C-alpha cells in the first residue's frame, strides 16, 4: 500500500481543503470575513510553499513530509481557533448569580413559596440570591455584571470570616444545582436559610481601605 493512499494521512490538498472548510463555518465568522480570509490565505500559501520546496526536491520522502507537516498545521490552526471559542462558549454558560432584577424581599418570598411547594431547587437558588442581595444592601458585597456565586461568597467571607465555610458551601450548592450535578433538597435550603439568618445578625468586619 502506498503512503499517499492511506485514508488516515491526508495529502497537502486535502489538508488545505479541510482547514478552509472548517474555518469557513459560520461560527468562525465572529471575527469578521477579513480575519477569515487572512487566516485561510496564510495557511494556503504556507502549504504551497512547503509542498513546492520539499516535495519537488526530495520526491516521495518530501511528499510524505509535506503531508505530515500539513496535517500538523491543520491541527494547530484548529486548536488555536476552536479552543478559545469553546472556552468562550463554556464561560457564557457558567452559572451566574442573578437572572433578573428582583430585590432581596421578593427573592426571599419566592424562595418560601417554592419551599412550601417542595421545589427545593428553586427555593435554594432564590434564597441564596436573596442572601446576596441583603449583603449587598449592607455594603458587604459589591454587585456587578457577571458576579458568580463563588465570587459573592469570597467577598462576603472577607467581612464575615467566621461564616466563610458556610458561605462557600452554599455557593457550591448554588452552582451544583444550577449545573444539575448536585441534588436540591430540603437540607440545602435549610443550610442557606441558616447562613442568611446568621449573616443578618452578624456585624461585618470593617476592611481597611488600601493606601495609594
**pLDDT at residue 144, rounded to an integer:** 84
Nearest to 132 by CA among 119, 117, 149: 149
**pLDDT at residue 101, rounded to an integer:** 79
- Digits of tens for pLDDT over the chain (212 positions)? 444 444 445 555 665 666 666 556 555 555 445 555 665 666 666 556 655 554 454 556 666 666 676 667 666 666 655 555 454 444 444 556 776 778 999 999 999 999 999 999 999 999 999 999 999 999 999 988 888 999 999 999 999 999 999 999 999 999 999 888 889 999 999 999 999 999 999 888 755 434 33
Distance CA 32, CA 53 (A): 32
Exposure string over 170-193, b if 16+ CB within 10 A, otherwise e: bbebbbbbbeeebebeeebbebbb
DSSP state string for 74-134: HHHHHHHHHHHHHHHHHHHTSPPS-SS---HHHHHHHHHHHHHTT-HHHHHHHHHHHHHHH
**pLDDT at residue 122, rounded to an integer:** 95
Nearest to 23 by CA among 42, 11, 39, 44: 39
Element (H, E) at 32: none
How does DSSP classify residue 11? -
Question: At a CB cut-off of 8 Å and minimum separation 6, what does 175 contact?
Answer: 95, 148, 149, 150, 182
Please count the other Cβ atoms lying within 10 Å of the Cβ belonging to residue 88: 10
User: Under DSSP, is residue 160 helix (H, G, I), strand (E, B) or coil?
Assistant: coil
User: Under DSSP, is residue 68 helix (H, G, I), strand (E, B) or coil?
Assistant: helix
**pLDDT at residue 170, rounded to an integer:** 96
**pLDDT at residue 3, rounded to an integer:** 43
**pLDDT at residue 43, rounded to an integer:** 60
Please count the other Cβ atoms lying within 10 Å of the Cβ belonging to residue 18: 16
Question: At a CB cut-off of 8 Å and minimum separation 6, what does 2 contact?
Answer: none
Amino acid at each position: 500500500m502506498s503512503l499517499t493512499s492511506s485514508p488516515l494521512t491526508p495529502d497537502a490538498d486535502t489538508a488545505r481543503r479541510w482547514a478552509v472548510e472548517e474555518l469557513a463555518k459560520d461560527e468562525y465568522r465572529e471575527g469578521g470575513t477579513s480575519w477569515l480570509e487572512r487566516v485561510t490565505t496564510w495557511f494556503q500559501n504556507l502549504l504551497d510553499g512547503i509542498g513546492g520546496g520539499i516535495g519537488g526536491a526530495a520526491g516521495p520522502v518530501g511528499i510524505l513530509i509535506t503531508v505530515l507537516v500539513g496535517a500538523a498545521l491543520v491541527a494547530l490552526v484548529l486548536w488555536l481557533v476552536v479552543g478559545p471559542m469553546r472556552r468562550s462558549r463554556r464561560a457564557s454558560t457558567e452559572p451566574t448569580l442573578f437572572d433578573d432584577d428582583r430585590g432581596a424581599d421578593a427573592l426571599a418570598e419566592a424562595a418560601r413559596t417554592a419551599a412550601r411547594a417542595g421545589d427545593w431547587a428553586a427555593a435554594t437558588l432564590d434564597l441564596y440570591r436573596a442572601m446576596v442581595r441583603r449583603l449587598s444592601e449592607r455594603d458587604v458585597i459589591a454587585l456587578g455584571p457577571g458576579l458568580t456565586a463563588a465570587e459573592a461568597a469570597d467577598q462576603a467571607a472577607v467581612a464575615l470570616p467566621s461564616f466563610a465555610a458556610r458561605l462557600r458551601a452554599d455557593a457550591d450548592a448554588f452552582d451544583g444545582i444550577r449545573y444539575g450535578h448536585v441534588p436540591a433538597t430540603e437540607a440545602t435550603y435549610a443550610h442557606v436559610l441558616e447562613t442568611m439568618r446568621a449573616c443578618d445578625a452578624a456585624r461585618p468586619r470593617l476592611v481597611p481601605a488600601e493606601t495609594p
